[in-house]
């Protein structure tokens, strides 16, 4: 009969498993924003939040999802960066909406690359509409694609009604959902993220505009990501920063919503990022694809299986406490061949000594274990029966 076997790892197995007194929760700085969220993307761990699941008007942060759907269409070869797109009367009519513009008109045929720059760097509503029509044929069809993507990611607090972020009944998101969209851009489309989200200035049709993300010019580690403003939303900013540390690069993502000015959204975001980097340490527990433990395996061509995390495992811990963690593995016992590489056979949990959970990840087989021959299987069956 299969059972769940729990194993606590000692310091001899992993140096980061020494005892720890109960760690006190870290208090974030006072942030002058209605909602905010700070995530360590290496560890996939929330460091601080306020009302992160509340429905909010997302303003032009909406264009994060608009961009993601366009990036997916480019990846799927439904359009190319060099392809030109027509400018419809609907896109041109965005001039009357009072929002940010790239300043395109129906006499122009801008390239997809230019439209992406106009939508991302200077938040052009007209560029967003032109891209939506170029991908889906109509804005309404594109909005449906945005909502399907949100549903596929399980975003329970997001519903899109337009591609620009202008205030509209039923158009809403949350700080956590916005962070999820931003993280998918960074992870799923790293080249596009690097190309477009750090642009500081954009010129089109002899009109030069500055990126409204003030942190791009203040903090050299900030490499994106998106601003937003409407009367209902207030001043909003999603910020990505990548800083170098002795154990590698570490990326933080902040979402700050509902501040009172451009300066406030920049300064409050900077405050959160600085706190995240100084008050928290990133600890690399395991390398991806490398075994963390050897365990017995039955009826296989080998007697032991190598188990570990599927990818490199990072955790964020309060500064100075990286050597005071405890890891527990829970796995099925006995393990019986055949075992496929990547097969999940349990979980790996990282906690404080007092048992406060930090993270839980699947425990997977690192190298396949084929089934033994008839005699080997029969012999292990007898041994298991005796055991």
pLDDT of amino acid 23 = 36
pLDDT reported for residue 21: 29
What is the pLDDT at residue 274? Answer: 98
Q: At what angle do helices 139-152 and 63-75 cross, to 10 degrees?
A: 90
Asked if 47 and 11 sit in the same domain, the reply is: no
Q: Under a CB-based contact definition with an 8 Å cutoff, are residues 318 and 281 in contact? A: yes
Q: Residue 285: its pLDDT value, please?
A: 84
pTM, two decimal places: 0.85
Do 110 and 224 share a domain, yes or no?
yes
Whole-number pLDDT of residue 386: 58
For residues 195 and 239, membership in a common domain is answered with yes
316 part of a folded domain: yes
Q: Are residues 151 and 59 in the same domain?
A: yes
Residues 219, 306, single domain; the answer is no
- 183 and 317, same domain (yes or no): no
Q: Which residue ranges of the chain lie beneath pLDDT 70?
A: 1-25, 298, 353-354, 372-387
Concerning whether 60 is annotated as a catalytic residue, the answer is yes
67 and 179 within one domain: yes
Enclosing domain of residue 312: 3-21+285-386
304 in a domain, yes or no?
yes
Beta bridge partners of 7: 329
Q: Are residues 325 and 206 part of one domain?
A: no
**pLDDT digit string (tens) for 201-214?**
999 999 999 999 99
Active site residue 138: no
CB crowding 252-288: b at 16 or more within 10 Å, else e: bbbbbbbbeeeebbbbbbbbbbebbbebbbbbebbee
If asked whether residues 331 and 367 sit together in one domain, one would say yes
Total domain count, the chain: 2
Q: Which position among 123, 173, 174, 267 bears the catalytic label?
A: 123
User: Are residue 62 and residue 139 in the same domain, yes or no?
Assistant: yes
Cis, bond preceding 334 (omega within 30 deg of 0):
yes
In a domain, 365, yes or no: yes
Q: What pLDDT was estimated at residue 351?
A: 81
Report residue 329: phi and psi, to 5°.
-110, 140
**How many percent of the chain have pLDDT more than 90?**
64
Is residue 225 included in any domain, yes or no? Answer: yes
Residue 300: which residues within 8 A CB-CB, separation 6 or more?
336, 337, 338, 339, 369, 370, 371, 372, 376
The answer to whether position 135 is within a domain reads yes
């Amino acid at each position: 009969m299969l059972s769940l076997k729990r194993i606590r790892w000692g310091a001899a197995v992993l140096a980061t498993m020494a005892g720890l007194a109960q760690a006190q929760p870290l208090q974030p700085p006072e942030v002058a924003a209605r909602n905010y969220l700070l995530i360590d993307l290496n560890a996939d761990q929330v460091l601080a939040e306020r009302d992160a699941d509340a429905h909010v008007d997302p303003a032009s942060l909406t264009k994060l999802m608009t961009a993601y759907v366009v990036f997916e269409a480019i990846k799927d070869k439904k359009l190319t960066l060099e392809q030109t797109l027509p400018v419809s009367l609907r896109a041109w009519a965005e001039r009357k909406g009072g929002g940010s513009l790239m300043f395109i008109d129906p006499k122009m045929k801008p390239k997809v690359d230019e439209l992406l720059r106009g939508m991302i760097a200077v938040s052009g509503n007209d560029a967003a509409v032109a891209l939506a029509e170029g991908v889906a044929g109509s804005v309404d069809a594109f909005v449906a694609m945005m909502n399907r993507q949100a549903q596929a990611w399980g975003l329970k607090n997001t519903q899109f009604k337009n591609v620009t972020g202008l205030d509209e009944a039923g158009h809403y998101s949350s700080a956590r959902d916005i962070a999820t969209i931003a993280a998918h851009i960074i992870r799923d489309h790293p080249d596009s993220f690097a190309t477009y989200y750090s642009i500081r200035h954009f010129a089109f049709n002899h009109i030069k505009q500055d990126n409204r993300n003030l942190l791009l010019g203040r903090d050299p580690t900030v490499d994106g990501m998106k601003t937003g403003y409407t009367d209902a939303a207030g001043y909003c900013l999603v910020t990505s920063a990548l800083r170098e540390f002795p154990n590698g690069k570490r990326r933080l993502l902040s979402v700050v919503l509902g501040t009172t000015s451009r300066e406030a959204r920049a300064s409050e975001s900077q405050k959160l990022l600085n706190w995240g980097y100084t008050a928290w340490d990133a600890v690399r527990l395991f390398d991806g694809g490398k075994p963390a433990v050897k365990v017995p395996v039955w009826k296989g061509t080998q007697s032991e299986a190598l188990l570990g995390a599927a990818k490199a495992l990072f955790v964020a811990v309060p500064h100075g406490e990286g050597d005071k963690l405890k890891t527990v593995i829970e796995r099925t016992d006995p393990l019986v061949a055949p075992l496929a590489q990547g097969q999940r056979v349990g979980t790996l949990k990282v906690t404080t000594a007092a048992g406060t959970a930090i993270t839980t990840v699947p425990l997977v087989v690192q190298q396949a274990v084929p089934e033994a021959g008839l005699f080997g299987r029969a012999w292990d069956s007898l041994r298991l029966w005796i055991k």
